[in-house]
Amino acid sequence: GQSLEQPSEVTAVEGAIVQINCTYQTSGFYGLSWYQQHDGGAPTFLSYNGLDGLEETGRFSSFLSRSDSYGYLLLQELQMKDSASYFCAALLISSGSARQLTFGSGTQLTVLP
């Protein structure tokens, strides 16, 4: 089956840097996305890696290594508002050629003052 592994919880202080890792075992892998979800809110898109390497978007960066089936999300200059759940999601090609996301279980990030 398709599976993505990420830590369940991470805690860091305001202003710090935190890295959330994601390893995957999938077939039909196309790319890796990251989504943020605040309690009671909708998942919102943060980043996508279709190729190996680093993608930078403001304070957030994401990395992908296809050979290692591994990616990470790097959050810099942490702010209290970054406290949320972060999901890695693999974009996969299904047997019917549909492209669809399979999500990990999420990492709950708590930012302390």
Question: Can you give the binding site for other proteins, defined by CB under 8 A?
Answer: 30, 33, 41-45, 48, 87, 89, 91, 94, 96, 98-106
Alpha helices per DSSP H over the chain:
none
CB of 15 to other proteins, least distance (A): 28
CB of 24 to other proteins, least distance (A): 12
Nearer to other proteins, 15 or 45 (CB): 45
**Cα-flanking dihedrals φ and ψ of residue 81, to 5°?**
-70, -10
Which of these, 109, 40, 48, lies nearest to 79 by C-alpha position? 109
Residues near 16 by beta carbon (within 8 Å), at least 6 away in sequence = 78
CB of 41 to other proteins, least distance (A): 7
Nearer to other proteins, 33 or 61 (CB): 33
Nearer to other proteins, 71 or 106 (CB): 106
The count of C-alpha atoms lying within 13 angstroms of the C-alpha of 28, restricted to the half-sphere facing its C-beta, is 15
